């Protein structure tokens, strides 16, 4: 008697529909509008282009520009993904294709546990332990090996400090590996076994099956994993705050300190006491909002294109 009531059904539909629309559309819109409203002072003062291209971040003279933070965010995210992508694809291949069944569950759990570690722990570990190793061992080694090579040597110039682009990207990549690996693994599991078996039947080796069947079939899944982790790396604050060195400059080498948008916000919000300073910080967060939006849209389009190509 209860289930047949038409009111319940309509009510449920509207209720759930409301929440879906609210959280998916209205809520982000409200955030955008609030950020826009709060940053009005900075928008009036600096405009769009000047704020985007200016490299000075000087609270004393109240001249603010977002380029160093934007560059820092994009560079660290990009390098982290470059490091993390092959490793996570490797982990996924190992789990789905190579590992004996008794090891599978163990490896999956281990990788997933990596995702459960709070980011502040990564930050503290990176700052207290990894930074020291990087400064004393890894970075001098890289400098002696890669330093003499033209172009690439430039990337490793400067005094090794341990808190820089390289260490940050490394820790970021460790943080995003579990996300990427688990999405890619799920995608690999979806490859129909008929396809793999027929490839084996045609005399393909394991490597050829992975290279020619599994990876092309799951390209969109891999792209999905990349997107998910890009989102995480873009917004990561706590671990980066420990490791970035927090200097608003565009890093010219991998061993230079830098800062990202979220770190600049976290560091400066509490002490920003002039209206323009506060407003500029809001403007900065508006930029982050827009950047993550654009990146996610681009990534979504990429997935759609890949899916289409596969369907042909």
For binding to another protein (CB under 8 A), which residues are involved?
Answer: 56-61, 127-128, 131-132, 135, 159, 161-164, 241-242, 244-248, 257, 259, 263, 266-268, 270-273
Closest contact distance (angstroms) between CB of 260 and another protein is 12
Closest contact distance (angstroms) between CB of 139 and another protein is 12
Closest contact distance (angstroms) between CB of 16 and another protein is 37
Nearer to another protein, 183 or 240 (CB): 240
Nearer to another protein, 263 or 303 (CB): 263
Nearer to another protein, 267 or 292 (CB): 267
Nearer to another protein, 5 or 55 (CB): 55
**CA 305 – CA 312 distance, rounded (Å):** 11
**CA 42 – CA 284 distance, rounded (Å):** 10
Nearer to another protein, 59 or 231 (CB): 59
- How many distinct helices (H) and strands (E) make up the chain? 17, 2
In this structure, what are the phi and psi dihedrals at residue 254, rounded to the nearest 5 degrees? -70, -15
Task: Identify the residue whose tokens are 């997933």.
Answer: 112
Nearer to another protein, 72 or 178 (CB): 72
**CA 51 – CA 309 distance, rounded (Å):** 40
Locate 141 and state its tokens.
């080694």
Q: DSSP assignment of 27-46, as one string? A: HHHHHHHHHHHHTHHHHHHH
Closest contact distance (angstroms) between CB of 275 and another protein is 10
Closest contact distance (angstroms) between CB of 142 and another protein is 17
Q: Are 246 and 259 in contact (CB under 8 A)?
A: yes
Closest contact distance (angstroms) between CB of 206 and another protein is 46
Of 172, 177, 181, 194, nearest in space to 221 by CA: 181
């Amino acid at each position: 008697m209860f289930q047949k009531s038409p009111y319940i059904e309509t009510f449920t539909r509207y209720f759930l529909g409301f929440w879906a629309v609210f959280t998916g559309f209205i809520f982000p819109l409200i955030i955008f509008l609030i950020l826009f409203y709060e940053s009005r002072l900075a928008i009036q003062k600096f405009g769009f282009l000047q704020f985007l291209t200016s490299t000075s971040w000087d609270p004393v003279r109240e001249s603010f520009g977002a380029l160093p933070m934007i560059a820092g965010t994009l560079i660290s995210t990009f390098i982290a993904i470059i490091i993390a992508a092959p490793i996570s694809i490797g982990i996924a291949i190992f789990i789905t294709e190579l590992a004996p069944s008794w090891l599978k569950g163990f490896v999956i759990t281990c990788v997933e546990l990596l995702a459960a570690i709070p980011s502040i722990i990564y930050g503290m570990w990176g700052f207290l332990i990894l930074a020291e190793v990087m400064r004393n061992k890894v970075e001098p080694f890289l400098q002696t090996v890669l330093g003499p090579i033209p172009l690439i040597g430039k990337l490793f110039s400067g005094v090794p400090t341990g808190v820089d682009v390289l260490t940050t990207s490394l820790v970021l990549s460790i943080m995003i590996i579990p996300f990427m690996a688990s999405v890619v693994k799920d995608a690999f599991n979806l490859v129909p076994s008929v396809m793999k078996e027929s490839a084996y039947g045609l005399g393909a080796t394991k490597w050829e099956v992975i290279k020619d069947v599994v990876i092309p079939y799951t390209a969109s899944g891999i792209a999905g994993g990349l997107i998910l982790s890009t989102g995480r790396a873009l917004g990561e604050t706590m671990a980066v705050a420990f490791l970035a060195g927090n200097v608003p400059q565009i890093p010219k080498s991998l061993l230079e300190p830098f800062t990202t948008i979220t770190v600049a916000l976290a560091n400066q919000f509490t002490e920003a006491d002039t209206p323009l300073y506060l407003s500029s910080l809001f403007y900065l967060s508006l930029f982050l909002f827009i950047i993550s939006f654009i990146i996610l849209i681009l990534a979504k389009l990429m997935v759609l294109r890949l899916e289409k190509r596969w369907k042909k």
